[in-house]
Amino acid sequence: MTARNAIFACLILALAATPALAQKAKPAGDPVVARVNGQTLTRMDVEIAYSALAPDVRQHVTLEQAYPQIIDRLVGMVVAAQAAEKARIDADPLIKRRLLLARDQILQDAYFNSIARKEITKEKLQAAYAQYAKDAPKQEEIKARHILVSSQKDAEDIIAQLKKGADFATLAKDKTIDPSGKNSGGDLGWFTKDEMVPEFASAAFALKKGEFTQTPVHTQFGWHVIQVEDRRPAKAVPYDQEAPRLAQDMATKVIGERVRELDQSAKVEIFALDGSKLPATGAGAGAGAAPKLKLPGTAAAPDAPTLAPDTAPDKLNSKPQ
């Protein structure tokens, strides 16, 4: 049996990006905050709904601030659910199965979250960050502009104008054939040497702050004139920014191992979609060849973490036109 979809969104742990629920002291008991036709809603219901909000929302809105909207939504949900029960919607076999699957999903998420919270301690995160900071690339970065033209002569003419005091950004907007440079004045932002094609990188990193190339630089994209605006040494990302990623990586590993243990110990029988017995090779090669699917309510499988996007499209390794 292959590893199941077991990593979920709330695994950005309290240790890394401390949600309000993990830190605030709970009031005594669980006070009732609303009644809907006799059915009670409590503070815990509100807290559960609040914890389901996206992390970036919780960073800017406290539980107290979100409460009016949350309680309004919860009351509306209960009213509709009561109407559904009165209409015997829950007697539908399909709805019964969906409710059972939803229960299994909630239990799975809670189980894996409890494992992650136990295994991923603040001390382990700090140790992982220390290793990350030690191994972080120590490459220098520069902030530069460039003007791309189609011929060496055009580049030489631009350099001549720069030597007479012309403004680099203004010339870039007027002369460059790089579409993004037309609006940005040739601005490339910050980048490391290995983010650019070799010819461009060598010329750019040979310049001091404020200097521009005295001769045109030829690459596969055309002829460049480059100006360096600033330089800075590379630095590791601060702990509070890097800890959520480290926590997710650790959770992926810990839970992936637990999933494999569970799968190996479970007795599982898989049949064809019509319920018939599969051929001897059906659950092996055939299943392995199928693409991995992301089911509603789940996140990426432990062995398929989401990758960060590549470098910005205006960098030269992305082949600007």
Check residue 27 and give its pLDDT.
52
The pTM is what? 0.53
pLDDT at 205 over 50: yes
pLDDT at 261 over 50: yes
pLDDT in tens, 62-83: 999 999 999 999 999 999 999 9
Q: What percent of the chain has pLDDT over 70?
A: 78
Which structural domains are found in the chain, ordered by start? 1-136+237-302 (no CATH), 141-235 (3.10.50.40)
pLDDT at 292 over 70: no
**What are 40's two structure tokens?**
């009670």
Q: 92: pLDDT confidence band, cut at 50, 70 and 90?
A: very high
The whole-angstrom separation of Cα 76 and Cα 319 is 52
Give the pLDDT mean for 25-42.
85
Check residue 137 and give its pLDDT.
64
Check residue 241 and give its pLDDT.
85
* 8 Å CB contact between 120 and 15: yes
Q: Which range among 4-8, 135-139, 237-241, 260-264 shows the weakest confidence by mean pLDDT?
A: 4-8
Q: 154: pLDDT confidence band, cut at 50, 70 and 90?
A: very high
Cα 41–chain centre separation: 34
Check residue 284 and give its pLDDT.
43
Give the pLDDT mean for 30-42.
96
User: Where is pLDDT greater, at 280 or 306?
Assistant: 280
pLDDT in tens, 46-57: 999 999 898 888
Q: What is the mean pLDDT of the chain?
A: 81
**What are 5's two structure tokens?**
């979809």
Q: 311: pLDDT confidence band, cut at 50, 70 and 90?
A: very low
pLDDT at 21 over 50: no
E strands, 98-175, where?
A: 141-149
Is residue 12 packed enough to be buried (19+ CB in 10 Å), middle (13-18) or exposed (0-12)?
middle
Neighbours of 170 (CB within 10 A): 12
Q: 173: pLDDT confidence band, cut at 50, 70 and 90?
A: very high
Check residue 281 and give its pLDDT.
61
The whole-angstrom separation of Cα 83 and Cα 94 is 18
Residue 223 pairs with which residues in a beta bridge? 149, 218
pLDDT at 116 over 70: yes
Give the pLDDT mean for 77-94.
96
Give the pLDDT mean for 99-105.
95
Q: What percent of the chain has pLDDT over 90?
A: 64
Q: 9: pLDDT confidence band, cut at 50, 70 and 90?
A: very low
Q: 227: pLDDT confidence band, cut at 50, 70 and 90?
A: very high
Amino acid at 107: L
Residue 217: in which H helix or E strand, if any?
strand 217-219
pLDDT at 13 over 60: no
